[in-house]
Structure 1
């Protein structure tokens, strides 16, 4: 696909709406809506690359309380013809068909390739990719298991969402205690993963979230790994203008 004149592709991830409390989450939600409003005039497509929510579970007849503004903004954009892609993350992996049927947004459960203006993009949340982290990879298989999802859905929403939000908050508190620093080329597991992919095929841009640290790393002369950071501390995103992809910050 080629970009239309003066149009761009935007990538952003890791909003973690719902954390650390409703008041702070609402301020962040409004900021993200302000950003989406600011780009709608020149955005041809928007990629939301996971962990939009700190926790999300789709019951058959129940929609989790909150997030009215962001869901309404996404509906407004897609109703106006904007193409939006959503990749599930480790905090919102229990997506079903709500985004597809209510918002007309395709949902991806694994990394996917796209090509714009002759540039190849590999886009995904990034969780479970690369070496190590076997404990999480096992849990991911459990959480993705249809029976496990059904069993959780049997719980009344009051108990199910309460339990899930408690553990999600504890996970986020532990993550916040770690200083986000670049670990070096040999220790960044998404860089290791990208290099493994490059041994099989050429990719111009690897676009991931999950890592929470904005990173723009040159893998080869014509291949780069970009981590989108997050919107709790950095308000970072990436934009492809038809020729190159740039890591940027909103209102910084």
Structure 2
């Protein structure tokens, strides 16, 4: 087996957001991608919203995603480190996936060094000055008491309500296209953060469902990972270069140009 040397970053799969048939189609595309990186993947970082909804009861977890979770388990058994950030859709991931697959869950942004280069990693939500209300709600959703209360609801009712709420939220808001360096919240945050942390080479986020790679100074880039609903994009770090790519099973992987 070839040496595993690459680190991959991927975000916003939103598995479970569509009909069972459409979900299986997208799940199969994700599995095809996992198979394509399996031999050289030292680590895979999922930067949030892997699932459109996730809630763990003591003895019950959401139905579906069997092939995806099985593939992650296989890769973990083969030595690939799997990391999950919780996003705003799957904030209630607890101990089931770590115990069954062996992955590591992260709930807050972090700085991690890979081969001498520092990365800032996070889901990407909560960086807008207008997000104070959202951040308050997020704190409530993190409370153990609310988790306990929600767990009293029957899984069928809780799942139906969560899927209805998620669909209603998507239907009621249109994510804007790329707004430029001055207006993109994660770029503005990264520029400010970088002034005090000039040794960070890369800022990686999801959440925006846009794929872009932006230089904010001579030594620092901001990468937004897109999604696996329409973009099918990810980032690959080979120890020297970080590249934003688009997955095409039959045509190889296309590298995104920087903005």
Which residue matches 1:207? 204
| Conservation of the 8 A alpha-carbon contact between 1:55 and 1:164 | yes
From the superposition, tell whether residues 179 and 129 of structure 1 become closer, same or farther in structure 2 (CA, over 3 Å).
closer
Aligned length: 247
Aligned to 2:196, the other structure's residue is in SS state: coil
| Conservation of the 8 A alpha-carbon contact between 1:180 and 1:212 | no
Answering whether residue 252 of structure 2 is matched by residue 243 of structure 1, we say: no
The separation in 1 between residues aligned to 2:180 and 2:186, in whole angstroms, is 11
Counterpart pick for 1:52 among 28, 32, 50:
50
The separation in 2 between residues aligned to 1:5 and 1:174, in whole angstroms, is 47
Counterpart pick for 1:170 among 168, 171, 179:
168
Counterpart pick for 1:193 among 179, 184, 189:
189
State the shift of 1:20 in Å. 2.2
Counterpart pick for 1:111 among 109, 112, 122:
109
Which residue matches 1:75? 73
The separation in 1 between residues aligned to 2:143 and 2:56, in whole angstroms, is 15
Counterpart pick for 2:219 among 222, 233, 250:
222
Return the TM-score normalized by structure 1: 0.94
Cα deviation per residue 1:64-90 (whole Å; 9 max; x = unaligned)? Answer: 111111111111111111111110100
State the shift of 1:180 in Å. 4.5
| Conservation of the 8 A alpha-carbon contact between 1:180 and 1:213 | no
Return the TM-score normalized by structure 2: 0.92
Query: Structure 2: any 5+ residue segments left out of the alignment?
Result: 249-253, 255-259
User: Residues 127-138 of structure 1 correspond to what in structure 2 (within 5 A)?
Assistant: 127-138=125-136
State the shift of 1:199 in Å. 2.1
**Structure 1 ranges of 4+ moved more than 3 A:** none
State the shift of 1:148 in Å. 0.8
Which residue matches 1:12? 10
Counterpart pick for 2:179 among 180, 183, 186:
183
| Conservation of the 8 A alpha-carbon contact between 2:13 and 2:50 | yes
